Amino acid sequence: STCKAKITEGKVEMDLNYALEQYEIDAGYVLLCQSHPRTPRVFIDFTLGMPSIGSGTITFDLGLVKMISADFE
């Protein structure tokens, strides 16, 4: 799923989940396209794999609605 991301701080609630296995949920992964923040601040990490910009990880703080860091190869 292209909206799969890992929650590193805070909590979200998913409306639906037809793509993640239980072990992925247990490890902190969610589907961002189905998630709603449940804490004032939520940090997410997700890995991009797009040929036009390469692969990397972006970290967001949804409470501030800003990008914290980006690391691309």
* 3-state secondary structure (DSSP) of residue 73: coil
Per the confidence metrics, is the pTM higher than 0.75? no
pLDDT for 4-45, tens place per residue? Answer: 888 888 888 999 998 999 999 999 999 988 988 888 778 877
Check residue 28 and give left, alpha or beta (phi > 0: left; psi -120 to 50: alpha): left
